[in-house]
Amino acid sequence: MKKKLCILVILIAVLLVGTVGCYFMPKKFGKNVNPSEVDHINVFDGNTGTGFTITDSEDIEYIVANIQGISMKRDGISLGRTGYSFKISYINSNDKDVIPVFILNSDNTICKDPFFYRCDGGLCFDYLKECEEKYRTNVTESIEEK
């Protein structure tokens, strides 16, 4: 009986240490994504309610490399919290998601349920704002031309 109890306690301790270790391990979003695999990036701005598609290969490469290059740490539970800035999805040439959709809330926060992930800053949040202006302008200009 003591042997079974000892094994059970050790098993629970190992699971607990493993869970805590996984929680505090850094995460990189899209670490296995090659920017050339991404045909376009769909972005929806939750603040303005507008969506836009990034198609320029230089913009795609910059965004993918930026998000890949920053290690994030879990920083709380995101379940039940609403609102976001940019919902991002990388799409390949077959119109399939390359990675699951994630949300860029600021230059230091990504939300991927069930967690928030934070870093010291440097995410391409302002770059996406510039892209929104650029690609929204192009859509408006092409509509006005018709």
User: For the chain, which residues make up each domain, given as ranges?
Assistant: 28-145
What is the pLDDT, as a whole number, of residue 137? 61
> What residues have CB less than 8 Å from 85, skipping those under 6 apart?
45, 46, 47, 103, 104, 105, 106, 125
pLDDT of residue 21: 74
Entry pTM = 0.77
**The CATH number, out of the four listed (3.30.70, 3.40.190, 3.40.50, 3.30.1490), of the domain defined by the range 28-145:** 3.30.1490
DSSP characters for 20-64?
HHHHHS-B-TTTT--GGG--EEEEEETTTTEEEEE--HHHHHHHH
- pLDDT value at residue 144: 39
What's residue 125's pLDDT?
94
What amino acid is encoded at 81 in this protein? R
Spatial distance between the Cα atoms of 93 and 86, rounded to a whole number of angstroms: 22
pLDDT of residue 138: 52
pLDDT at 139: 47
Mean per-residue pLDDT pooled into runs of 10, the chain (146 residues): 84 86 81 90 91 93 93 86 87 90 92 90 92 72 39
| pLDDT value at residue 124 | 92
Q: What is the pLDDT of residue 72?
A: 92
